[in-house]
Amino acid sequence: MRQLSGTDASFVYLEGPRVPMHIGSIAIYDPSTATDGKVTFKGILEHITGRMPLVPSYREKLARVPFDLDHPYWVCDADFDLEFHVRHIALPKPGDWRQLCIQAARLHARELDLDRPLWEFYVIEGLDNVEGVPPGSFALVSKVHHAAIDGVSGAEMTAAIHDITPEPAEPVGGDTFEPERAPSSFELLTRASINNAMQPFRFARLARRTARNSLRNMGLLRSAFPAAPRTRFSSVITAHRVVDGRAFDLGQMKEIKSSVPGATINDAVVAVVTGALRSYLMDKDELPDTPMVAMAPISVRTTDESGTMGNRVSAMTVSLPTTIADPLERLKTVYASTQSSKELTNAIGARTLSDYTQFVPWALAGLATRTASRLSLANRANPVINTVVTNVPGPQMPLYMAGARMVALYGMGPVTDGMGIIHPVFSYNGTITISFTSCREMLPDPAFYADCLQSSFDELYAAAT
């Protein structure tokens, strides 16, 4: 039994019927590389079963403290049922990209069962008409609660069920799974009373550690949080979702970032997103007069924490120069903004900023958020950010699941009131995908926004080269 961190627990407290707090992906596989050129659902179940010991959290569920007086705990599920978590469906003819995105959006819109291990896989067959994908391919749509993983630990969880050759590795032996006795309410309340008694001392130590740096960097603090303008993505979201995305050549993205000395691939990605948002909102005659603002997560996972689940992240804010028409100037401005935000993060310490989440009263914050949602306050309040751009580097070699080669990987993420669009970014085997998840009422034309991403990339690549 282990307790969730403040950051992990926050995603549990913020969960709601319209705001499911899980992240996910759409991985597409070509079964022709497998034995006999096919992969069965039973074979996938057996493959995942053989890898379960590599990721114990697959079998863990939440034990919540009464009245949320302390953060929940992870405990092994004595009634774990793999076939509840791995499901099998198929697309009707013709089995194209639009159908896959619609199905993935429907699945992503549903909440996970908080009384079971917080993940689901959907094997989707019938991908016969997806451009760049061999007919007869299948997809694996994943949903994992954000309380359990961040981008890095999610990549490690993905790696556990994949091989680097078509020939699957031998099943992992020595499965030590033993169902735990669920802790009683009295035990949880006793632990909560001890933890809460120690919190003031822990906070005092953390405050002393950061006070000197904070005072020395007041100028950075004042300039680090630009005001975000209101857009169509700044209102109350519905329970409906859309997902889509585009794949780009990673080598070309590197050429783009190299056109501005010091810029990173993440800067280039943010510049592409900036151009897409600018084009989309201009088409709606809704482009704000001031730059939009994005939040970019930063991993603070140490080497010792490699292989552990949960969230080890901080964040920085980045100004999106949506008011600038020239694509190369947008990239230069993004680079300058990320450098400024990194200065603050380095001055205070990304790990320190992450540590402060332990002391946020997330249960109260979750109640306040749900109250604000019922009152539709997001329709009137100024947003803190306009979007999230989260970049997860992946392996630059082919991966295989049950012998089938992964040919594409796209991301999905949660959206909230006031922040109705998120951009997950994955790089894999020479490609980089920029995906998006949004509220269907805010973004009724996802295919057009995907075209905006493509146009923004093409424009920026032409200017950079």
- Amino acid identity of residue 32, one-letter, is S
CA 461 to chain centre: 26
How many whole angstroms separate alpha carbon 83 and alpha carbon 336?
49
CA 451 to chain centre: 22
- For residue 423, give both structure tokens: 């951009």
| Rg of the chain (C-alpha set) | 22
Question: Which of 22, 71, 108, 146 is an active site residue?
Answer: 146
Closest CA to 438 of 238, 299, 247, 166: 238
| DSSP 3-state of 433 | strand
Contact 389, 456 (CB under 8 A): no
Helix (H) or strand (E) holding 425: strand 421-428
- Amino acid identity of residue 274, one-letter, is T
DSSP single-letter state for residue 426: E
Provide the H-helix boundaries in 259-326.
Answer: 265-283
Known catalytic residue: 47?
A: no
Torsion from C-alpha of 187, 190, 192, 196, nearest 10 degrees: -170
Closest CA to 32 of 404, 406, 408: 404
Burial string for 391-426 (b: 16+ CB within 10 Å, else e) reads bbbbeeebbbbbbbbbbbbbbbbbbbbbbbbbbbbb
How far apart, in Å, are the Cα atoms of 464 and each of 86, 267, 333, 372? Answer: 44, 13, 14, 44
Active-site amino acid positions: 146
